[in-house]
Amino acid sequence: MIAPRAERVGAEMDTTKKLQATKVIDAPARDIFALLSDPSRHSELDGAGMVRGVASDGPPISGIGQVFTMEMHADDLGDYRMVNSVTAFVPGARVGWAPKVDPTCELADKLGDMEASGHTFTYDLREVEGGTEVTSTYDWTGVKDEQFEQMFPRVSQAQLEGTLDRIESSVA
């Protein structure tokens, strides 16, 4: 369900290599952070429908540098895996990761020499009146491979907003 426009802040930045969505969710920041920090729950949150689940069970995200692998699917790419390195971690306030195609999956062979990395997903949480303001940023400014960059954005503004709606439903 799409929230009323008054609860959303649109992408107020250069969207050539970044998308951002913000929504106030009626839940404590600690509950939202716990949800975002648990890779086993990411498939239920993904507004783009690409995340299928974790490749293997592991602990919740607990610090920068931690790695978790996700099973993925996209119609144009088929099934593949992404290895995610945690790039941002402030308990209760910020969590983010940088995906990179798993070099052992079939997609890596199809991509050949293409460097399929350089993008990030980051969530910033701030308690406000009425709940927690959640800002999701999808950033591909770090993509260096020109061929890979042509594949962006992989997630649309509407899908980013859909993820916020799914987060809201999951903590309600």
pLDDT tens string 91-102: 999 999 999 999
Q: How far apart are CA 158 and CA 75, in angstroms?
A: 18
Residue 6 has pLDDT above 50, yes or no: no
Gap between the Cα atoms of 157 and 10, Å rounded: 9
The pLDDT of residue 2: 27
Interval 125-170: pLDDT, tens: 999 999 999 999 999 999 999 999 999 999 999 999 999 999 999 9
pTM over 0.85, yes/no: yes
Alpha-carbon gap, residue 149 to 143, rounded angstroms: 6
Helix %, strand %, coil % of the chain (to 5): 25, 35, 40
Domain count, the chain: 1
- For position 153, which CATH number holds? 3.30.530.20
Structural domain harbouring 84? 5-171
How many helices (H) and strands (E) in the chain? 5, 8
